[in-house]
Chain A
Amino acid sequence: MSAAAEPAVLAGEDATLSELPLLRRERIWGFWDYSSVNIGLAIATWAFLQGGAVAYYVGAKQAIASIVIGYGISVLLVSLAPCLPCGRYGVEQFVSMRSVLGERGARVLMVVMSAVLAAAWSAVLAIMCGHALANVTNQLLDTRISAGAGVVSVLALLALCSSWVIVARGPRSIELVNRFVAPGLVVVTLVMLALVFTKTSWSELVATPALSPWGDGHLDFMLAIELNIAGGFAWWPNVGNLARLTRTTRSAFWPNAIGLFLASVVAAIVGVFAALALGSEDPTLWMVPLGGVLLGVLALAFVGMANITSVVAQSYAALVAIKGGGGASVRRVPWGLLAALILAPAAVLVFFPTAVYDNYARFVSWGAIAVAPLCAVQIVDFFVLRRQVLDVRALHTPYADSRYGFLRGWNPIAVVAIALGALTYALLLNPVTYEPSGWFRYLTASLPAFAVAGLVHYALTRLVLAWRTDWGGYR
């Protein structure tokens, strides 16, 4: 063995926290390790929100079908990309995107994705925490705090401050989620399922109508499927850097079926049942009616805390991405200050609790507008155009000298493909009003957006390669 193969990383440096490509010996997760991390992430409080949102459109049986089909499709696609490129080569997720979008394109994507999604998810979870704590106060102190009250915003802000304190202290958050909060949420989920069936029977549950359907059964079912496809795509920004830590490509692929798919499906279905049985889509209103005051308050307090750890996990992932790929100037910003900057937009959003919390479906839809085409372009690029082969050196070479340089660090073809995919989505499902067009009832919105983006990327890249063979390092 050569001298070059001796120590794994620089002294005091953890390669998993930087954009350096990982060596095989640094991959720490096998099949069950990655599965448990996946389950911990999947059974977070947003699974209850997802279930509550689905119950808005469909009853129990259609909800089960739409959740399984919707999550099944998008989790399979997300498992292909970014999981497999990152898992196979050990490269950081947004570094792997340099072969698709170019160095500058991938950097902009990373900052936008990390900042916008971290802000939006953090705001939703912090407001949910505020709701949970307000409901605890209502039960214990006999107060009458409403969902849109200023107190909820203040409690949500406190949740964000608590999250910042934890994030600023270092990277132990995901471990905490997996060791303590995730098993606790599994217990809460199973207890909720049991309590639902003490309140109602299966036949009553199946007969219970959706909370607020459009009234067209087929359209409502397709809206529910779309909501769940979008929910699965929401994992795209997080999973690549987790799959990067796996020891085999099978370990990078299959655990997603156990965690992101199976665990999310179970939690969302329990959420649907609770929402239908209690007539409310807000998970923080389910606990006390289901478990009584004592059990309900304990569950609410636990869910409130679980939301803080989810904010921590979300912010931490965004911080690592920005710190690793944001360039030298970003690397010089102190960790605590960067954490505060990441959480600052969420601190503004929590002062509009009703607007943010009550528009969960629209919010998930906005994510899918970008991620469905992005995922398509990455899958076509990696599997079809590059035949699963990446040049790791070129990924880490400045664009002026890299075969992935494209046009001054941008791949205009991928950008156009993603834009056309997003346009397709918006034409089929209005992201502002959440009003579907005529074709939506047959196609959904995410799947046509995925197809259009993938086809455009393939066709335009082939066209350009016909007269410029050195384009993008495809040959």
Chain B
Amino acid sequence: MDDEMRAELERRLVLIEDAGGAEAALPPLPLTDLAAAVTALAVLTIALLWWVL
């Protein structure tokens, strides 16, 4: 990694590590979203198995 690239990386890391800043990491996916996806898949799976078996 050349010096220019290293400096750019450092600049970005400073921005991302600023927890309250506009460039901080995004918040985690809400647990309700994951629960909704898993529930929908489970219901769909059961319905399809009932249909074909």
**Which A residues fall within an 8 A CB radius of B?**
4-5, 9-10, 13, 18, 20-21, 23-25, 61-62, 64-65, 68-69, 72-73, 76, 79-80, 84, 87-90, 221, 247-250, 252-254, 257, 328, 388, 390, 392-393, 396
Q: Pick the contact of B9: A69, A87, A253, A396 (CB < 8 A).
A: A396
The contact string, 1 if C-beta is below 8 Å from chain A, for chain B 1-45, is 100110011011111110001111111111001100110010011
Task: Write the chain A residue with the least CB distance to B30.
Answer: A250
Q: How far, in angstroms, from A252 to B13 measured CA to CA in the complex?
A: 21
Given the known interface contacts A76-B37, A249-B29, the answer about A23 and B49 at a Cβ–Cβ threshold of 8 Å is: no
B15 contacts which chain A residues (CB < 8 A)? 4-5, 23
Determine if A72 and B45 form an interchain contact, defined as CB atoms under 8 angstroms apart.
Answer: yes
Given the known interface contacts A10-B8, A72-B45, the answer about A249 and B13 at a Cβ–Cβ threshold of 8 Å is: no
Determine if B48 and A65 form an interchain contact, defined as CB atoms under 8 angstroms apart.
Answer: yes
B13 contacts which chain A residues (CB < 8 A)? 21, 392-393, 396
A10 contacts which chain B residues (CB < 8 A)? 4-5, 8
Determine if A24 and B5 form an interchain contact, defined as CB atoms under 8 angstroms apart.
Answer: no
Determine if A76 and B41 form an interchain contact, defined as CB atoms under 8 angstroms apart.
Answer: yes
Given the known interface contacts A88-B26, A328-B1, A396-B9, the answer about A72 and B44 at a Cβ–Cβ threshold of 8 Å is: yes
Total residues of chain B contacting the partner, CB 8 A: 33
Q: How far, in angstroms, from A176 to B45 measured CA to CA in the complex?
A: 35
A72 contacts which chain B residues (CB < 8 A)? 41, 44-45
Task: Write the chain B residue with the least CB distance to A80.
Answer: B34
Q: How far, in angstroms, from A217 to B36 measured CA to CA in the complex?
A: 32
Determine if A73 and B41 form an interchain contact, defined as CB atoms under 8 angstroms apart.
Answer: yes
Given the known interface contacts A72-B44, A249-B29, the answer about A23 and B12 at a Cβ–Cβ threshold of 8 Å is: yes
A252 contacts which chain B residues (CB < 8 A)? 29
Determine if A9 and B8 form an interchain contact, defined as CB atoms under 8 angstroms apart.
Answer: yes
Determine if B23 and A5 form an interchain contact, defined as CB atoms under 8 angstroms apart.
Answer: yes
Determine if A21 and B28 form an interchain contact, defined as CB atoms under 8 angstroms apart.
Answer: no
Query: What are the 3 tightest A-B residue pairs by CB atom distance, in nearest-first order?
Result: A65-B48, A249-B29, A65-B52
Determine if A88 and B25 form an interchain contact, defined as CB atoms under 8 angstroms apart.
Answer: yes
Task: Write the chain B residue with the least CB distance to A246.
Answer: B26
Nearest CB of chain B from residue A120's CB, rounded to whole Å: 29
Known: A21-B13, A64-B48. 5 other contacts (CB 8 A): A62-B52, A89-B16, A248-B26, A249-B28, A393-B13
Q: How far, in angstroms, from A65 to B44 measured CA to CA in the complex?
A: 9
Complex A-B: 15 CB contacts under 8 Å: A5-B21, A5-B22, A20-B5, A20-B9, A21-B12, A23-B12, A80-B34, A87-B26, A88-B27, A88-B28, A89-B26, A252-B29, A253-B33, A390-B25, A396-B9
